[in-house]
Amino acid sequence: MDIAVGCADCVVERDHCHGTLIEHADGVVECTDDRCVMPYPVRHAMVVDCDAFAAGCGCDAHDRWNNMMLSDSAAS
């Protein structure tokens, strides 16, 4: 055994990714690993909604959602 990164999927040489998959509100997915070529949730141990980024992830859907929340609280 000479495996530097030893997660269970590495051991069985299953196709997978060690990055975190980010699912945006508009359905776009991206991975924190630049080398990730197939951003499918099934290949990732870590999958998060872009809502999890308190500062905003920069996607349009996220901005829309934030603006909606802001205007809601301002109107009341």
Joined together, the tokens standing for residue 63 give 């901005």
Strand intervals (E) in 1-76: 17-23, 29-31, 44-49
CB of 75 to Zn ion, least distance (A): 24
Task: Identify the residue among 10, 52, 69, 70 touching Zn ion (CB under 5 A).
Answer: 10
Q: Is 44 helix (H, G, I), strand (E, B) or coil?
A: strand
Q: String of b and e for 22-37 (b: at least 16 CB within 10 Å)?
A: bbbbeeeebbeeeebe
Contact between 31 and Zn ion per CB under 5 A? yes
Rule CB under 5 A: choose which of 62, 63, 66, 71 binds Zn ion.
62
Minimum Å distance from CB 24 to Zn ion? 3
| Interface residue list for Zn ion (CB under 5 A) | 7, 9-10, 17, 19, 24, 31, 33, 36, 50, 57, 59, 62
